[in-house]
Structure 1
Amino acid sequence: MNHKTIKLLRMSYLRGPNLWTYRPAIEALIDIGDLEDCPSNTLPGFYERLTAWLPGLVEHHCGIGERGGFLLRLREGTWPGHIMEHVALELQNLAGMQTGFGKARSTEVRGVYKVVIRTRQEEVGRQALLDARDLVMAAIDDTVFDVAASVRGLKALIDRHALGPSTASIVDAATQRKIPSIRLTTGNLVQLGYGSKQRRIWTAETDKTSAIAETISRDKDLTKRLLAACGVPIPDGQVVGSPAEAWEVAKDIGLPVVVKPSDANHGRGVSLDLNTQTAVEAAYTLADAEGSDVIVERFIRGQEHRVLVVGNRMVAAARGEQSCITGDGQSTVMALIDSQINTDPRRGEEEEFPLDTIRLPENSLVMLELSRQGLTPESVPAAGQVVLVQRTGVMTHDITDEVHPEVAEMAALAARVVGLDIAGIDLVASDISQPLQAQGGAIVEVNAGPGLLMHLKPAVGQPRPVGEAIVEHLFGPRDDGRVPVVGITGTEHTTPIALLLGWLMHRAGHATGVACSEGMFVQMQRIDSSHPSDWEAGQRILMNRCVDAAVLENSPRSILDEGLSYDRCHVGVVTGVPEPTGLQDHHILTREQMRTVLRTQVDVVLPQGCAVLNADDEVCAGLGELSDGDVVYYSQASEHALQAAHCEAGRRFLLVQNGQVVLWRNQTATPLLDLTQPVVARLLTRHLPLPALLAAVAAALALDMSPALVRAGVETAEPLFASA
């Protein structure tokens, strides 16, 4: 087709490891038409327009491997698909979703390319590619493109769809520990680990967080009574039922006082340092709108602090700051807030900013604070007049290294008294480097599900690795959250291999989950025969808390369509690398291309794992060099050209000799299975071919199952196939 534009023919989200990368990615099939004849160095002004819009492209190394590498390719001449790749990556980076992996490859059709970009969020990656197409065409045609609007749109998609920063910090920390993760909802509920080894997080709550403890923490009066009973210093206070009662209690306790809701977090509805009846009664109304009860308590002089406790130890602490404006005799309060506070680069509407912008009259706490000073948003403070705008709820300064050990222990005790595994302890003290009681300080709140952003991105001071602390709390130092996972791919016999191996693992005592074309099985009982995609079926098995081992079948098409359903596996089985059939829509036409698809299964084998490969297929056998772990070969022959060198290296080779399946290692031969036994012969005759039997046995050995157990499992497997 003759055209000079970029047409998007297809866009696919590869959710797991794929032929391009270990990570999720967007693959776009594009047609550049007659632009195939227009590399970048032939387009007048293209380089200048593109780099003016996206100066950050200078940081893209591209294949050159150094800063400015991509710009060099632009000057020398490269094609729109490659340029789209880098533009999409840069737009994601500008939107705050950092990524650097991309590929652009031509197909056998002139002008048709595959463009692949890594993305942390499907919706963001898709839109980045669409915007990249439009931006590249605008640079070619010398028309207008609004980069800022594109970035704003991508940021909005990130805010709407991506994990929040607190949850993302925990997931990133788990990834650094090689612990896999599965996002269970479109929100922040995430599974870390697989099967029975999994843990779950929901922002800063975990599956160790007690529901009773969370309920207690929401009841501020009950929390205070429990803390006081255990010797934790707290301010005197009382639940009240009306504005008038609030004022009476305030007088009894002694002014100034604090008025706050008994069932609220994050500073909502909290008013401090109240000294008049009008202020107390107004604060009661504000607090009453937030919770079921209202508390009046003694005001503790000092600075507000938030101490984060994870697993009975303090891991971070922050100090709050008050927000003030200074009058100039001309500007209104609202104008001064905009010019003196909201211009702070630390403030913004998105979650990435440590401080929020202040909007009036929406912010009721600020409105109350102004009214206490006789001001409104339209008031004009006198020149030099200092106006307090916000006195609470803004934790900005990291002070982790300043906290006195006794204060840290008191905060940890407060979390234990309530029963929370992760808690945000709010305390007031004049000097956090000194014990609380000596200075009249007190713990004022214990919060479940505390925000982590103040510790991840403090306005002042050092970020703290709170995500790492939560992962350490959930997983021991040697725990990677993994159950044994076996992935099987190829074009022949993969289903019977999955069923037989699942049976062998079941006989070995594993609560095994199997996903294959025959359905989904747990403990070899069929739980679903609806035939979801290989990716979905694998994810459902790995989400099952009953499963302590998994066998997952992956067709070549499923790898191309969605990627693998797991990040790494303990055993990867490839039954062969044939000439491709039926994959023309993916432009997989040669055996070498098929090898690239199926090698994905070997690429994800863990270093402590094993690849199981069909030695009778030369191309398949060659995949052994790609395995990070061990390699077990199997062959229907009685001897094989690869056998000697492989076995001398201490590796295992399965052969068929004199009617027996024999395991060779070093110079030792171990008979495993008599193929002439009636039950085995019947199994081979009626239910599965010999290569499938060999592959399943080899995979079982790769999982360190004993030969005797393997033999017993094979000899009792026939009823499984009869019922499948």
Structure 2
Amino acid sequence: MKIREINAMRGPNYWSIRRHKLIVMVLDLEEMEQRPTNTIDGFLDRLKTMFPTMYEHRCSVGEPGGFFQRVEEGTWMGHVIEHIALEIQSLAGMDVGFGRTRGYGEEGVYNVVFDYMEEKVGRYAAKASVSIAEALTSGEPYDLSTDIQQMREIREAERLGPSTGSIIEEAESRGIPWIRLNRQSLCQLGYGANQKRIQATVTSQTSSIGVEIACDKEDTKHLLEQSEIPIPKGEIIRTEAGLKEAVEYVKFPLVVKPISGNHGRGITTNITNWEDALFAFEAAKKVSRSVIVEKYIVGEDYRLLVINYKLVAAAKRTPAHVIGDGKSTIKQLIDKVNADPRRGYGHEKVLTQIDINDLTLGILEEKGLTLDSVVAKDEFIKLKDTANLSTGGTAEDVTDIVHPYNVFMSERIAKIIGLDICGIDIMTTDIGQPLPDTGGAVLEVNAGPGFRMHLAPASGLPRNVAGHVIDMLYPPGSTSRVPIVAVTGTNGKTTTTRLIAHMVKMKGYKVGYTTSDGVYIQNRLLMAGDCTGPASAEFVLKDPTIDFAVLECARGGLLRAGLGFKNCDVGIVTNVAADHLGLKGIHTIDQLAQVKAVIPETVLPDGYAILNADDDRVYNMRKSIKCNVALFSMDERNPNIKRHARNGGLYALYENGYITICKGEWKMRVTKAVNVPLTFDGRAAFMIQNVLPADRKS
């Protein structure tokens, strides 16, 4: 079998308006076209052995075991590969389930279509599924575990982190569009002039100087101390000699940590002797040139999350640990904890697996323990110095019991440092009492705090903290979008796009538009060439200077990657003709019409699909859309127009030499066609037709 091409859909597409993330693999079965599964000895048994969980695939049979039934009866290898691609992604921890296999228009060649969550994983699954199918056919052994692990690692490297992901998920739930700007966590919410940006939990509104202060623990401690916020006694040092002086000044027990850093890197707590202090100093120096030595505060570790200068969540954090049962070794106890289905690799799940490293072994050694030690029943064995979730710690939501003084203090700290989103770490014996009364202290103020402990605590109520971020970025009454007019069709797209852009510009908008000859921002050509695909649409929608977008959308980009936007306000289809047939698996005019229909099907419910009533294929698109419909026609006697008029619909006509706008029986003559220069004194009927859909926006 031979893979001809693999395309990744990233927006509404020919295969699905609703499912944007689809892999479309063009697969040539070659000689396997003549070998359905029921003709391959042992194929079904080998498939069941490798994928017993595939029993849940119902397929067209509609019941568990349905796919196995299809394989037993005989199905083609493209169909099998579709199911394998879905199953291996599921085994790697991804929630996928949609698939289709359809003929490409050539004998033995198929479009194999299936869901993905991360594009690189989807592409990997496409290739791996073909290799697996070939191994199952030949009976050769295949190492599936390597593929599963590789896909997990790719997903972890490519996916948005839990904090960024929660903000994006909340934005999507409110209909706010978004664009990922890099392979990390930099994302754009909204379009054009109404866009905002986030990078993890730092926003485009976050103060740069506030972030700098929070990242410099010395400056943070200084500002808090000046503001009468309780902080631990401490010193900033760089040398071993400085460490000796700091130990004499602060006295044991101590905490040693780098002056800059995150996720608990380089931090050692509850140091009680010089040897451990020196070891901790060297560990901190690996993270930062300067090191803080401060008094160890007895108590529990709490994180207070402040968004838009209001406390929205609080969590009690516990370092990675095990509880003895009197019979299991520490290593066995760790394995049991890691077997918790809530724990996963990195940020894969709500909790992270506990990693055994030198720090863990050192903590155990201090207590005279090893991984092979058996500890007493109910004995608490700490495995990490810090309570970060990223090192296997757990969190308990305590938002509802934070003392009002501590609420006031946390909101005041956010103002003092100047952070719209910050995480405040405090140590206290009782979060339900004022911090000064317990002898507790503020340990750190963090810019870009993680949300995972609040979104999915190990115990207590989950808090939708991402909702507070969206409330801050887009308060009630604000908008995240800019108006989008999308234009498609076989002929007339560019003319119609340019005409609409010109009219909108005359209304005072700052317009970005795409055409087959380039991308224009405020009437300036910024990219030359055929720019009718999704990348060009995104170029316009990412531009912060535009407040209106007019986007020409051609078939090529739609088939290659889908649309570059989720919804539009107006979708125009000029016509569908027999051009470009035989390319990308589109062999008939009806198939081409289905490609073009993607545009009107993405129009928002209160928007308009503007359709050519003189073209039956375009006119029939109205049956599958969920928005208002406006028509245009060169023939006032067109029965489609008459029917639309009787229903009170909006339409544009070329009538007695006039371009006319109508609604029901009401008519308004806009101008004579001869007065529109591009109609060549009214002689170019095709240009008059291009004017009619554009006139809706005038």
Provide TM-score, normalisation by structure 1: 0.87
Determine whether 1:15 maps to 2:24: no
Q: Return the alpha-carbon distance in structure 1 between the equivalents of residues 546 and 675 of structure 2.
A: 33
Change (3 A) 1:339 1:245: same
Q: Return the alpha-carbon distance in structure 1 between the equivalents of residues 329 and 94 of structure 2.
A: 38
Aligned to 2:348: 352
Deviates more, 1:635-644 or 1:620-629: 635-644
> CA shift at 1:268, angstroms?
1.8
Q: Which secondary structure does the structure 2 equivalent of 1:92 belong to?
A: helix
Aligned to 1:124: 121
Determine whether 1:187 maps to 2:184: yes
Q: Which secondary structure does the structure 2 equivalent of 1:182 belong to?
A: strand
Preserved contact between residue 257 and residue 274 of structure 1 (Cα < 8 Å): yes
Aligned to 2:430: 431
> CA shift at 1:605, angstroms?
0.9
Change (3 A) 1:360 1:538: same
Q: Which secondary structure does the structure 1 equivalent of 2:287 belong to?
A: coil
Change (3 A) 1:590 1:410: same
Aligned to 1:563: 562
Change (3 A) 1:649 1:687: closer
Aligned to 1:586: 584
Preserved contact between residue 183 and residue 190 of structure 1 (Cα < 8 Å): yes
Deviates more, 1:674-683 or 1:553-562: 674-683
Alignment of 1:35-54 (within 5 A): 35-54=32-51
Preserved contact between residue 674 and residue 680 of structure 1 (Cα < 8 Å): no
Q: Return the alpha-carbon distance in structure 1 between the equivalents of residues 385 and 285 of structure 2.
A: 20
Aligned to 2:599: 601
Aligned to 1:721: none
Change (3 A) 1:232 1:108: same
> CA shift at 1:508, angstroms?
1.0
Aligned to 1:133: 130
> CA shift at 1:346, angstroms?
5.7
Instruction: Give structure 2 stretches of 5+ with no counterpart.
Output: none
> CA shift at 1:457, angstroms?
4.5
> CA shift at 1:411, angstroms?
2.5
Deviates more, 1:597-606 or 1:669-678: 669-678
The number of equivalent residue pairs is 688
Q: Which secondary structure does the structure 1 equivalent of 2:107 belong to?
A: coil
Change (3 A) 1:387 1:86: closer
Amino acid paired to 1:482: R
Q: Return the alpha-carbon distance in structure 2 between the equivalents of residues 610 and 678 of structure 1.
A: 24
Preserved contact between residue 243 and residue 285 of structure 1 (Cα < 8 Å): no
Amino acid paired to 2:385: R
Change (3 A) 1:126 1:583: farther
Q: Return the alpha-carbon distance in structure 1 between the equivalents of residues 621 and 316 of structure 2.
A: 56
Alignment of 1:326-475 (within 5 A): 349-353=345-349, 354-361=351-358, 363=359, 366=360, 369=363, 388-394=382-388, 395-406=393-404, 407-461=406-460, 463-475=462-474
Q: Which secondary structure does the structure 1 equivalent of 2:26 belong to?
A: strand
Q: Which secondary structure does the structure 2 equivalent of 1:416 belong to?
A: helix
Change (3 A) 1:57 1:309: farther
Of residues 293, 305, 312 in structure 1, which corresponds to 2:309? Answer: 312
CA RMSD for the aligned pairs?
3.1
Determine whether 1:98 maps to 2:95: yes
Deviations 1:164-222 (A, max 9, x none): 33322322222222222212112221112111111111122111121101000011122
Q: Return the alpha-carbon distance in structure 2 between the equivalents of residues 200 and 135 of structure 1.
A: 41
> CA shift at 1:527, angstroms?
2.2
Q: Which secondary structure does the structure 1 equivalent of 2:607 belong to?
A: strand
Deviations 1:699-719 (A, max 9, x none): x1xxxxxxxxx3xxxxxxxxx
Change (3 A) 1:47 1:476: farther
Amino acid paired to 1:662: T
Q: Return the alpha-carbon distance in structure 1 between the equivalents of residues 221 and 494 of structure 2.
A: 60
Q: Which secondary structure does the structure 2 equivalent of 1:656 belong to?
A: strand
Alignment of 1:143-182 (within 5 A): 143-182=140-179
> CA shift at 1:503, angstroms?
0.6
Deviates more, 1:441-450 or 1:567-576: 441-450
Q: Which secondary structure does the structure 2 equivalent of 1:8 belong to?
A: strand
Change (3 A) 1:50 1:494: same
Deviates more, 1:469-478 or 1:102-111: 469-478
Alignment of 1:284-299 (within 5 A): 284-299=281-296
Preserved contact between residue 317 and residue 396 of structure 2 (Cα < 8 Å): no
Q: Which secondary structure does the structure 2 equivalent of 1:431 belong to?
A: coil
Q: Return the alpha-carbon distance in structure 1 between the equivalents of residues 345 and 600 of structure 2.
A: 45
Q: Which secondary structure does the structure 1 equivalent of 2:383 belong to?
A: strand
> CA shift at 1:283, angstroms?
2.7
Amino acid paired to 2:281: Y
Q: Which secondary structure does the structure 2 equivalent of 1:97 belong to?
A: coil
Of residues 650, 653, 673 in structure 2, which corresponds to 1:655? Answer: 653
Aligned to 2:673: 675
Q: Which secondary structure does the structure 2 equivalent of 1:16 belong to?
A: coil
> CA shift at 1:25, angstroms?
1.7
Deviations 1:367-405 (A, max 9, x none): 664565578x7x976976986532313341231445415
Q: Return the alpha-carbon distance in structure 1 between the equivalents of residues 637 and 272 of structure 2.
A: 93
Change (3 A) 1:311 1:44: farther
Amino acid paired to 2:600: V
Aligned to 1:257: 254
Preserved contact between residue 26 and residue 104 of structure 2 (Cα < 8 Å): no
Q: Return the alpha-carbon distance in structure 2 between the equivalents of residues 318 and 68 of structure 1.
A: 45
> CA shift at 1:72, angstroms?
4.4
Deviates more, 1:660-669 or 1:318-327: 318-327
Preserved contact between residue 635 and residue 656 of structure 1 (Cα < 8 Å): yes
Amino acid paired to 2:235: Q
Q: Which secondary structure does the structure 1 equivalent of 2:639 belong to?
A: coil
Aligned to 2:201: 204
Q: Which secondary structure does the structure 2 equivalent of 1:20 belong to?
A: coil
Deviates more, 1:689-698 or 1:433-442: 433-442
Q: Return the alpha-carbon distance in structure 2 between the equivalents of residues 672 and 506 of structure 1.
A: 19
Amino acid paired to 2:538: Q
Q: Return the alpha-carbon distance in structure 2 between the equivalents of residues 231 and 210 of structure 1.
A: 23
Aligned to 2:111: 114
Change (3 A) 1:380 1:643: closer
Q: Return the alpha-carbon distance in structure 1 between the equivalents of residues 148 and 320 of structure 2.
A: 30
Deviates more, 1:339-348 or 1:84-93: 339-348
Deviates more, 1:114-123 or 1:564-573: 114-123
Q: Return the alpha-carbon distance in structure 1 between the equivalents of residues 505 and 685 of structure 2.
A: 19
Q: Return the alpha-carbon distance in structure 2 between the equivalents of residues 481 and 71 of structure 1.
A: 47
Q: Return the alpha-carbon distance in structure 1 between the equivalents of residues 133 and 68 of structure 2.
A: 14
Q: Return the alpha-carbon distance in structure 1 between the equivalents of residues 685 and 528 of structure 2.
A: 19
Deviates more, 1:635-644 or 1:502-511: 635-644
Q: Return the alpha-carbon distance in structure 2 between the equivalents of residues 323 and 589 of structure 1.
A: 60
Change (3 A) 1:75 1:329: closer
Amino acid paired to 1:547: I
Q: Return the alpha-carbon distance in structure 1 between the equivalents of residues 681 and 416 of structure 2.
A: 61
Q: Which secondary structure does the structure 2 equivalent of 1:498 belong to?
A: helix
Deviates more, 1:582-591 or 1:379-388: 379-388
Amino acid paired to 2:447: A
Amino acid paired to 1:599: A
> CA shift at 1:693, angstroms?
1.0
